[in-house]
Structure 1
Amino acid sequence: MAKKEKNFVKEVTSREEDYSQWYLDVILKTEMVDYAPVKGCMVIRPYGFTLWENMQALLDKKIKDTGHKNAYFPLFIPENLLQKEADHVEGFAPEVAWVTHGGNEKLAERLVVRPTSETIICSMYAKWIQSWRDLPVLINQWCNVVRWEKTTRPFLRTSEFLWQEGHTAHRTEEEAQEETLKMLEVYREFVEEDLAIPVITGLKTEKEKFAGALKTYTIEALMGDGKALQSGTSHNLGQHFAKVFDITFLDQDDQLKFVWQASWGVSTRLIGAIVMVHGDNRGLKFPPKIAPVQVVVVPIMPKKTREMVLKKAGELVDRLGKEFRMEIDDRDYSPGWKFNEWEMKGVPLRLEIGPKDIEKGQSVLVRRDTGEKFFVKDEELEAVIEKLLIEIQENMFQMALKFRTQNTHRCDDYDEFKKIIAEKRGFVKANWCGHGDCEEKIKEDTKATIRCIPLGEEKMDGQCLCCGEKAEETVYFARAY
C-alpha cells in the first residue's frame, strides 16, 4: 500500500506573500538544514552539507591553484591576543563567546571562541617569519567560527557557521595589494561561474570596512527580494596587525621591516545566496556545477513491469553515474509526488523511465529551470545530459543577471532615491561626496547602506545625492542582509 502523500509545494509560502517565510519553508522542507538545540545555531543536514562539500571542492582547488596551502589553527584564542588590537576587539566585542572554565576550574585567562583568526594566526606568523626568504606566507584554513548574533537566520546569519579564511604575509605593500585583488577575482569567478550568481566587485567605505583593515573589497549580490548580500570579502590589512604582533623580517638590505598582510573569506552564507537568487515558488533551483544531485532518475513502475523498469533504471544509473551525480528514487510514492519533491529539491535534470520508454529505447529528460521536456535515445543520453547541464548553468546565470539589471536604478535626486528604496527593490547607483556624515544620514533615513565603490566602472558626473556637494565617488546603495 502506498504511503500517504503530501503536496510539499502547497505547504511552502509563496515568495510574493512572505519572502522570509518562503526561504525558511524551502530550506527546512528540502532537508538542507534544521534548528539546533542551541539558539541561533543550525544543523546542516546531508543534502545541505553535500552542497557545501561541492562548493568547497571547487573553491579549494581555485585557492590552491593560486599557490596557497591549507592549515588549521586553534578554535580558542587567549584574551590577551584579542586585546592587543583595539579596533579589532571593539569590532567583534558584542559577538564574542567566552570560555571561562575548564571542567570545574576557573581559567586563569579567559579564552575567546574564534570569531575570526587574525590574532591567533598573527601570533604564529611572528614566530615563523624571520627573513625575506620566508615570504610570502600563503595559508588558508577551512573551519568554523562563532559570532554571538542576536538575530539569526539559517545560512545567512548564525551564531556558528562554516567558512574559509585566507591569511597571507608579504614583503611589500604592492604584493599585499596584488594578493587582495587576486583573491577578490577568485571569489568573483567562483560565485559567477560555479554558483551562477552575478556580483558587483568593489571597495568598502571606511565605515563599512573590516575592523583593523587598510582596505576592504567585496563582492555584492542581489537576492530575489531585492536586498543585497555581501557574499565575500578580501582585505588589505597593511602593516596594522604586523606592528601589533611584531611580525618582522630581515630584508635583503639588512633592514628589519614589518610584513604586509592580506586576509579573505567566504562562508556558508553563500548557500543562502544560492537559495534566494535561484529559488522560485516551486522550491530550490541548483546550478549543475554544485548541485548535490545533478540528475534524478524517477522510474515509472506499474506493478506488472516494476522489476523490469527498476532493472533498467539501475543500469542507467550505473552507466551515467560515472559522469554525473545521480540518484534513483524507487520509493513507494506516485511519480507525480516524486516529480514535485525533486523539483522542490532543485535537481537540475529529471530522468523519467517507464515500460513504454524501454520499448522505444529512450528516456525522458525534464529541465528544472525551464520545465522543458526531451525524449532522448539511450545511446545519446551522456551527450545530451552534458549539453543540457551546461545550458542550465548558463541560463541560471543569465536569469539572475537579467533580474539584477532590471532592479538596478540610477538616481541623482535624494527624494527620488528615498522613494525607490521604500517602494522598489535592488541596487541604486548614485553619487556620493565621500563624507561619513552623508553616508550615516542616508542609512538613518532609508536603512540603505553603501554596498561598495565599484571597480572598473566609470564615475558619473554630478553632485552628492545627499548634500549636493561635488561627488567624489559613484557608489551602489541597497538595503542588505
Structure 2
Amino acid sequence: MSAEEAVAPTIVADAAAPAPAEGAGKARAPKVKAPQVPKVNKMAPKAKKEAASTGAVQIGIEYKKDVDFPKWYQQVVTRSEMLEYYDVSGCYILRPWAYKIWQEIQQWFDSEIQELGVENSYFPMFVPAKNLEKEKDHVEGFAAEVAWVTKAGSSDLEEPLAVRPTSETVMYPYYAKWVRSHRDLPLRLNQWCNVVRWEFKNPQPFLRTREFLWQEGHTAFATKAEADTEVHQILELYRQVYEDLLAVPVIKGVKSEKEKFAGGLYTTTVEGYIPTTGRGIQAATSHCLGQNFAKMFGISFEDPQGPLPSGEARPACHAWQNSWGLTTRSLGVMIMVHGDDKGLVLPPRVAAVQVVVIPCGVNSKTSEEDKLAVDERVADIAKQLKKAGIRAKVDDRSTYSVGYKFNHWELRGVPVRLEVGPKDVKSNQALAARRDNGEKSTVSHETLVKDVRELLDTVQADMFARAKETRDANVIKVEDWKDFVPALDSKKFCLIPWCEEVACEEEIKEKSARTGLATEEAQDEKAPSMGAKSLCIPLEQPQDKPIIAGETKCTSCGKDAKRWALFGRSY
C-alpha cells in the first residue's frame, strides 16, 4: 500500500548472499558473507582488551558518523543488537532491542486508531494472479518487486500466487462482498503484518528490505468528505509517532502527481530530514484512493436516496476508499537522526530500557558492609522505578568493569544511567548521566521517581528540539534557479514556488543531477541522489511570502507557480 518502501537509501551493501540467478538449476545453500570489520578499532583500549579477554562481542563504533556514514550505520544497527543479518539477502532478524521499539509504536498507534473506530483484522499473505492484475496502475507500481510462489513441493501450482507487496488486491474483493448498503459503511480495517517486496539493488537494514513489518489500514466510506477527513486524521497520528515518540521532526504534505500512490486519487505524507547526508526520507503515507479501486473490485452500495421518481432504481454508488501505512523503516529514520559516534541514542518513550542502574566505586578495598549497602540501594532504586512504570534494569555483572558497562549501555542508547556507589548511599543520592548530551546531575533518593521521570521527559523534549532546530536551519526558500543546486550540495531542502507540472519535476531532477558522486551513491540505481525530487507540497505554506496567482513564477520553468513545494535529494 504505502509507497515508502519503494525508494530507499544507500547505506551499505547487504552482507548476505545475492538472490539466485534467473534460470538457475537446483537451489544451493546461499553463502553468507559477514560484514567487513575494519582493522582499526577506536574503542577505548581498556574496554577493547576486556572484551577480548572475556570473549564478549566487540563493542564500540569504529567509524565516525560524519566521515563514513554507511559503515557507521551498519555497525550501529548490528553492534547495538538492534538487528542481525540473515541467510537470505535483504531479510533481517529484528532483535528484541529493536522489536520493543516497534511494539511501543504499535501499542500507541493501535490505541489511537481504535479510538477512531478502526478495527484490526488479518488477511492471507498470498494474492491470486488474477486479483493482482485487476488494477493496471497499481500492478505496474509493484511489478518488479513482486515475489511469486509457483510450486508446492514438486508440483507446479495451477495459478501462481504473489506474496503480498501490499493488500489492496487481497482485501478489496471481500469488501465488495461485505458492502451492500450505505449502512455497511464505513468499513475501517487495519492489519499488522509483514509484506514482501523483492528489491534487487542494495538492500539496507530497516530502510530497504525484502520483507518488512508494517500496519496497513484500508477503509471505505459513503462520501469523499468522510474519506478526506480520515486521510488527515491518520497523517496527524503519523506525525505524532515520529515527533512525540521518536523525537524526529517531520513535514506534513501532499505528494506530487508523479510521486503519489499508483492508482490513488492523492497521497499525503510525512517527510523526514537526515542531517548527515542532507537527504529527505518518506516516513509514512496516508492515501485517498478515490473510487478507482471500488470500481475495479465492485465495492458499491444502493443509493440511500432510493428509487427515482419514475420508480427506476438509481445507479449503485461506489465507495470512497483510503489506505495508509507505517513501517519498521521508522526505526532506521530514528537511528540516522539521533545516533552518534558512540552508537544509538534512544528517545525515552520508546527505549526498551529507559534507565540502567550500575553499582560503582566498589573494589577489593570496599568493606562488606558498604558492598551490601550498595547492592540493597541499587535493588531498591530499580524496584521503585519499575513500580512507577519506568523501564529500569540493573547491570550488576561481576565479570565486567564499570567502564565496560558504561560503553555497553551507551552503545545501546539507554537514555539515562544511574551510578550508585558507597558515597552515594551515604549521601542518599545517585549520579544520573544523560545519553543524549552526556550531562550529569545528582538525583535524591527521596524524590527518585519524580526526578527520574522529569529527567526522562527533559531528554525526550531536548532530543526533539535539537533535531527540529537542525532540520529548520536546513530548509531554505529558493526562488532563483542558480541557487538551487548549490543549496542541495550544501545538504539543504529547497522550498520553491512551483508550477506542479510533471514535466517540470522531471526537468528539475535532470538539471540538478550531480556529477562525481560518491561510490555508494552511484552504485544505487534507485537512489534519487542523482538529482532532486519533490518531497511534498507542505500543508503548512509559508505565511511570510504567499504565492500570488499570475505573479509568482516557478523557480525552475518560469511558469505561474501554484504553491510552495519542498524539493531535495532523497532516500
Question: TM-score category by the smaller chain?
Answer: over 0.9
Match of 2:473 in 1: 406
Match of 1:469 in 2: 559
Corresponding residue SS for 2:214: strand
Q: CA offset at residue 473 of structure 1? A: 2.2
Is the counterpart of residue 435 in structure 1 residue 501 in structure 2? yes
Is the counterpart of residue 21 in structure 1 residue 90 in structure 2? no
User: How is 1:115-194 mapped onto 2 (pairs within 5 angstroms)?
Assistant: 115-150=165-200, 151-194=202-245
Match of 1:273 in 2: 333
Match of 1:236 in 2: 288
Does the CA contact (< 8 Å) of 2:373 and 2:425 recur in 1? no
AA partner of residue 217 (structure 1): T
Corresponding residue SS for 1:379: coil
Pick closer, same or farther for the CA change 1:396–1:8 going to 2, 3 Å: farther
AA partner of residue 351 (structure 1): L
- From 530, 534, 537, the equivalent of 1:453 is 537
Q: How many matched pairs?
A: 479
Q: CA offset at residue 8 of structure 1? A: 6.3
Give the whole-Å Cα distance in 1 for the aligned partners of 2:61 and 2:298.
57
User: How is 1:44-443 mapped onto 2 (pairs within 5 angstroms)?
Assistant: 44-150=94-200, 151-225=202-276, 226-254=278-306, 255=314, 256-300=316-360, 301-303=362-364, 304=366, 305=368, 306-322=371-387, 323-331=389-397, 332-421=399-488, 423-443=489-509
Q: Describe the superposition over 1:82-112 as per-residue Cα deviations: whole angstroms up to 9, x where unpaired.
A: 0000000111000000000112211111101
Q: Describe the superposition over 1:142-169 as per-residue Cα deviations: whole angstroms up to 9, x where unpaired.
A: 0000001122110011000000000000
AA partner of residue 84 (structure 2): D
AA partner of residue 491 (structure 2): R
Question: Higher strand fraction: Structure 1 or Structure 2?
Answer: 1
Corresponding residue SS for 1:403: helix
Give the whole-Å Cα distance in 2 for the aligned partners of 1:262 and 1:11.
43
Give the whole-Å Cα distance in 2 for the aligned partners of 1:220 and 1:155.
17
Match of 2:21 in 1: none
Bigger shift: 41-50 or 303-312?
Answer: 303-312
Corresponding residue SS for 2:566: strand
Give the whole-Å Cα distance in 2 for the aligned partners of 1:302 and 1:55.
42
Q: CA offset at residue 50 of structure 1? A: 1.1
Give the whole-Å Cα distance in 2 for the aligned partners of 1:313 and 1:365.
13
Q: CA offset at residue 375 of structure 1? A: 1.5
Give the whole-Å Cα distance in 2 for the aligned partners of 1:111 and 1:181.
34
Bigger shift: 12-21 or 78-87?
Answer: 12-21
Question: Higher helix fraction: Structure 1 or Structure 2?
Answer: 1
Does the CA contact (< 8 Å) of 1:12 and 1:26 recur in 2? no
Q: CA offset at residue 186 of structure 1? A: 1.3
Corresponding residue SS for 2:348: coil
Give the whole-Å Cα distance in 2 for the aligned partners of 1:58 and 1:294.
17
Does the CA contact (< 8 Å) of 2:355 and 2:416 recur in 1? yes
Give the whole-Å Cα distance in 2 for the aligned partners of 1:297 and 1:354.
11
Give the whole-Å Cα distance in 2 for the aligned partners of 1:453 and 1:365.
43
- From 18, 34, 49, the equivalent of 2:84 is 34
Corresponding residue SS for 1:189: helix
Corresponding residue SS for 1:108: strand
Gaps of 5+ in 2: 1-46, 307-313, 513-530
Bigger shift: 337-346 or 43-52?
Answer: 337-346
Give the whole-Å Cα distance in 2 for the aligned partners of 1:443 and 1:405.
23
AA partner of residue 457 (structure 1): Q
AA partner of residue 299 (structure 2): I
Does the CA contact (< 8 Å) of 2:60 and 2:411 recur in 1? no
Q: CA offset at residue 377 of structure 1? A: 1.9
Give the whole-Å Cα distance in 2 for the aligned partners of 1:159 and 1:224.
26
Please list every run of at least 4 consecutive aligned residues from structure 1 whose deviation after the TM superposition is greater than 3 angstroms.
Answer: 6-11, 303-308, 458-461
Give the whole-Å Cα distance in 1 for the aligned partners of 2:75 and 2:547.
42
Q: Describe the superposition over 1:194-231 as per-residue Cα deviations: whole angstroms up to 9, x where unpaired.
A: 11111111100111001111000000010132211100
Does the CA contact (< 8 Å) of 2:384 and 2:449 recur in 1? no
Q: CA offset at residue 10 of structure 1? A: 5.2
Q: CA offset at residue 27 of structure 1? A: 0.9
Give the whole-Å Cα distance in 2 for the aligned partners of 1:327 and 1:10.
21
TM-score (norm 2): 0.82
Give the whole-Å Cα distance in 1 for the aligned partners of 2:109 and 2:262.
25
Q: CA offset at residue 286 of structure 1? A: 1.1
Q: CA offset at residue 436 of structure 1? A: 1.0
Q: CA offset at residue 292 of structure 1? A: 1.0
AA partner of residue 457 (structure 2): I
Q: CA offset at residue 307 of structure 1? A: 4.5
Q: Describe the superposition over 1:59-84 as per-residue Cα deviations: whole angstroms up to 9, x where unpaired.
A: 11111121111110111011110000
Bigger shift: 104-113 or 189-198?
Answer: 189-198
AA partner of residue 363 (structure 2): P
Give the whole-Å Cα distance in 1 for the aligned partners of 2:275 and 2:69.
9
Q: Report which of the two structures shows the higher radius of gyration computed on alpha carbons.
A: 2
Give the whole-Å Cα distance in 2 for the aligned partners of 1:8 and 1:469.
58
Q: Describe the superposition over 1:31-82 as per-residue Cα deviations: whole angstroms up to 9, x where unpaired.
A: 1001110011111011111111111111111111211111101110111100
AA partner of residue 66 (structure 2): E
AA partner of residue 84 (structure 1): K
TM-score (norm 1): 0.96
Does the CA contact (< 8 Å) of 1:9 and 1:282 recur in 2? no
Does the CA contact (< 8 Å) of 1:8 and 1:341 recur in 2? no
Corresponding residue SS for 1:290: coil
Does the CA contact (< 8 Å) of 1:228 and 1:426 recur in 2? no
Does the CA contact (< 8 Å) of 2:51 and 2:58 recur in 1? no
Match of 2:24 in 1: none
